[in-house]
Amino acid sequence: KVWISSYNQKESFENVLLGMDAIVVGGGNTLNMIAIWKAQGIDVVLKKALEKGIVLAGGSAGSLCWFNNGTTDSRPKELTVVEGLGFLPFSHSPHYHSEEYRRPLYHKNIESGIFKAGYAMDDYSGVIFKNGKPFKVVSTEVKYNSYFVSMKDGKLVEEKLVAEIIN
């Protein structure tokens, strides 16, 4: 846990986090989360964790944080762009199927060059990366999918990725 009182914290974030086998980040406000991580130096520790081979995972804000950038509801009124930690050199859109405005905005940001090509994921679906490259796509049901969205020959292409169904 990194949301603690400093008075009760007996070890550094580095000692705690680098002693883990996996670090799972939950959902929430991506913008605020990354700002706090940077203020506390946790972003640097997470990079060390990645280099050490510790599994980094999460959903929603906890998946968006690992990518270059993506769309977030971290600000009032509308979805906006948020910069991630850049551990994965792609853009990202979580909750791809659940809100009708996420997909068109993600497409628009890729078409306009605001985002590089990237991975869009429905809830209950995900992509496992190994050494910065997609390794396996998983989903809890066939109706939840992950996609690679890119520009090819001046046109937006949304490629549905074949997933292994896991329970």
Determine which one of 91, 92, 93, 95 is catalytic: 95
Dihedral sign, Cα of residue 41, residue 87, residue 107, residue 148: negative
Q: Record the tokens describing residue 96, joined without a space.
A: 């791809």
Dihedral sign, Cα of residue 16, residue 20, residue 23, residue 24: negative
Strand partners, 155: 152
95 is catalytic: yes
Determine which one of 60, 74, 125, 146 is catalytic: 60
Structural element, H or E, at residue 68: strand 67-72
**How far lies 117's CA from each of 54, 60, 67, 126, 160, in Å?**
26, 18, 11, 16, 14
**How far lies 94's CA from each of 3, 59, 103, 124, 129, in Å?**
23, 8, 10, 10, 15
- Where in the sequence numbering do the catalytic residues fall? 60, 95
